[in-house]
Amino acid sequence: MNTLTTFFNQVSNQLASWFLPHLSQIALTIIVCLIALYANDLNKFIKRLFARKHFIIRTVIFIIVTAFGFGALTLFVTPLLIKLLLLFGNIYMPWLLLVAFIVLGVLADRKNQI
């Protein structure tokens, strides 16, 4: 059992050393995938809220939500996700990333995105 644990730790550390220099891009990818999966639902909700408003108001709301809302979400949540991933350490981070992308794939499949 000790050799299996040692092997698991070595593989995890090696994978983490490969991922760490690219962690900001990986976290950004996760955030952008989540936004891509749920942006349409949010846009439909906002469209229902402002459907009867003037064209200019709808346009301004659309710009605020897409440019500033999704942009701010991307800019501010990505560093938080990086810190969260680093909290798990080198041993669990590669496996957590694998699970995260599998979950994103399952979510995309359920929403008929793939």
- % of the chain residues with pLDDT over 70: 100
pLDDT of residue 19: 93
Average per-residue pLDDT for the chain: 91
CA dihedral 93, 97, 103, 106 (to 10 degrees): -150
Q: Average of pLDDT values for 34-48?
A: 89
Q: Average of pLDDT values for 31-59?
A: 89
- Band (112; pLDDT cuts 50, 70, 90): confident
Q: Count CB neighbours of 13 within 10 A.
A: 15
pLDDT of residue 53: 87
Q: Average of pLDDT values for 61-88?
A: 91
Q: Average of pLDDT values for 45-67?
A: 88
Residue 26 · residue 84 · CB < 8 Å: no
pLDDT of residue 113: 80
Task: Give domain limits for the chain.
Answer: 17-110
